[in-house]
A and B are shown apart, each in its own frame.
Chain A
Amino acid sequence: MLEIILDPSFLASIPRFVTPILLAALGGAICERAGVFNIGLEGMMLTGAFFAVLGSYFGGSVYVGALAAVLSGMAMGAIFAEFNLRRGGDPIVVSIAVNLLAAGLTTFLLRAIFDVAGAFRDPAIGGFGPIDIPGLAALPAIGQLLSGQSLLFYVSLVLVLALHVFFARHRLGLRIRAAGENPAGLTAGGVSPNRVRLAALLMCGALCGLAGAQLSIANVNLFVENMSAGRGWIAVVAVLLTRGRPLPLFFIASLFGAVDSLSFRVQGFGLPQQFTDMMPYLATLVVLTVLSWIRLQRAR
């Protein structure tokens, strides 16, 4: 077991699994801080994964793919805002609908546009290649971890710090926190909480879209039906456990991503695939249980 963990190629694979969970969780964190209970991250991520492939295939550039993913995620955020904020639908109901909509829409479009069922792969789908950072790569162990990853991994690292500063200092960041903690005060200050929440949902959609892009055009160059496969829910748990604070979120998401990566890694070691597939969800459940229990003990 120790051999696997210290294996440089295992270390190198961790960021590929951390990035999608981290990006989606950062998006969820913005909603959480704005007082929007959004458990539709899974659907927003799946939509992003599909449109990333679509954009990359037709646009001929991986950046067009990433842009398409961001825009499609934002569209899902806008749909969430319309039905939750403007029409007053329960956020849980709207989230469930967004998840189903994403599952239906991506499969429908997969068949309508590419005329395939199940999966779409094509050499014309461009993907994010590894970026080697000179100097870093030479470091022992950690070099493998930090160098040679996709652009989106580095973007997500920058976003963790950026979001931390954003919540602490930026005007919109402060307003987002006010929308969550004291909406009446925000209204008194002449700012509509729902407008701030709309901004939060659009930013969340954009980040979840990028998370999907990492899945479909960075980790692999293809789209598979339901390819988010529950990672959006793991991100929801990460948000819940950290109450949307970016720095703790980074550690939790890294932990979940590392387990995800490990489960992929140990597949070749005689364990049945079902058990390795189960690991990330089980780990999430265990971490959630332990931290909830600690929190409960403190409250008593």
Chain B
Amino acid sequence: MPPANMRGELTSWVITLAWIFAILFGLMLLVGAPFATALQGFVEGAFGGRRFGFLMATLSRATLIVGMALSAMLSFRAGLFNIGGEGQLVAGGLVSALVAIMLPGPPLLVLSAAIAAGMIAGAAWALLAGVLQLYVGVPLLVGSLLLNFPIRYIASYLVAHPFRDVQSGMVQSHLVPNAMWLPNFPGVRLDIGILFILAASIFAIVYSHTTLHGYRARLNGLSPDFARAVGLPVGRLTLQTLAMSGAIAGLVGAIAVFGIHHRYIDGMLVQPLYAWTGIIAVLLVGMIPWLVPSSGFFFAAVQTGAAGMERAAGVPKEIGLIMQAVIILFVASRVSGALLGGSRGQRDGDA
């Protein structure tokens, strides 16, 4: 970027930030919350707590959000607007929980099988959207989104009827065997699921930047016509990328089951909007792979911080959701336009 533009660029970023904060303060004014207490509650809720309990909660949430962001990123960079991460996440969580409950055997082996099954389920659900696009002509954008609904209700049915833990009185499955729970790090309430996502982050960054497959996928994202013209196997590339994307979403579902809830609870992966937060975390940083983990952590902190504001100053925690949307409006409209250019051309071709 030439230095002459730097000042203008900086000023407009400052104006953007001023807008975002003005909206935040406006909302707090609306509910009559004391600013200082609320802000203190935000910082405490996101990064504080006794023995950093809230920070651990933020990291735990960030684990799932970053995972969903990586899943979305792999698709988006390849020009595939897969916004069905939620369905792939639910498929992964559901299948891994059911395998862990049903399959007998040594815990570590069953756990591995359950995680693998969850990843396969997530990949399969994403592939379904891909097959519909390639062979039937259903645009991926709406196809992947509409597939969120059936799996949500299938999962809900399975844990409400055949696999329900009736005695608990809740709509949820039985607990997975204790030996399969992901252990916590010593001394803190944070499970080792974050290590899986760390590995997935490294994989996604290395894949995107250094492998031929990742390069070709990006080429398809930037210019699908060019990719086709130079003879890339676009169809195969699409399906493979979607499978990877879905497998990561499935892994996130498995981590939520074995690390956090230890069972499948109806709505546990849908209500917190993990998949949508992951999508906006990718858009915030313009799909640049190495920035995605920090972006995901940022949105996790916005959410747990908002919960802290509610505890401290009585601001409804949904202010976090509003702020996420506002940030995306202001920031993503500045950085993502050019990056998504390629996918738009392809979408028009499909429609």
Contacts and interface: CB of A to CB of B under 8 A. Distances in A.
Interface string A258-292: 00000000000000101101100110110011001
Contacts, number: 137
A3 B27 CA distance: 52
Contacts of A236: 142
Given A90-B337, A288-B142, A275 B137 contact: no
A120 to B, nearest CB: 13
B38 to A, nearest CB: 13
B141 interface: yes
Interface string A104-117: 11011001100000
A233 B145 contact: yes
A265 to B, nearest CB: 17
B142 A90 contact: no
A108 B142 contact: no
B318 to A, nearest CB: 4
B172 interface: no
Given A93-B283, A93-B336, A274 B329 contact: no
B321 interface: yes
A275 B340 contact: no
A230 interface: yes
B293 interface: no
B136 A296 contact: yes
Given A107-B316, A292-B138, A79 B322 contact: no
B337 A274 contact: no
Contacts of B332: 89-90, 93, 97
Contacts of A103: 273, 321
Interface stretch (A52-60, A80-88, A183-191, A196-204): A80-88
- A interface, size bucket: 35 or more
Contact of B325 (A37, A101, A233): A101
Contacts of B316: 107-108, 111-112
Q: Is chain A's binding surface mostly helix, strand, loop or mixed? A: helix
Interface residues of B, number: 51
Contacts of B330: 83
B154 interface: yes
Interface in B293-351: 316, 318-326, 328-330, 332-334, 336-337, 340, 344, 347, 351
Given A240-B351, A293-B137, A296-B137, A100 B149 contact: no
28 contacts: A79-B329, A83-B329, A83-B333, A88-B333, A89-B332, A89-B334, A92-B141, A93-B340, A94-B329, A96-B83, A100-B273, A100-B324, A101-B329, A103-B273, A104-B319, A104-B325, A105-B318, A107-B318, A108-B319, A111-B316, A230-B149, A233-B146, A272-B160, A277-B153, A288-B138, A288-B143, A289-B136, A292-B136
Given A89-B336, A96-B83, 6 more contacts: A37-B347, A107-B318, A111-B318, A281-B146, A282-B150, A285-B146
In the A-B complex, the 6 residue pairs with the smallest Cβ-Cβ separation, listed nearest first, are A89-B333, A104-B321, A101-B325, A281-B149, A274-B157, A296-B137
Interface of A: 37, 39, 79, 83-84, 87-90, 92-94, 96-98, 100-101, 103-105, 107-108, 111-112, 230, 233, 236-237, 240, 272, 274-275, 277-278, 281-282, 284-285, 288-289, 292-293, 295-296
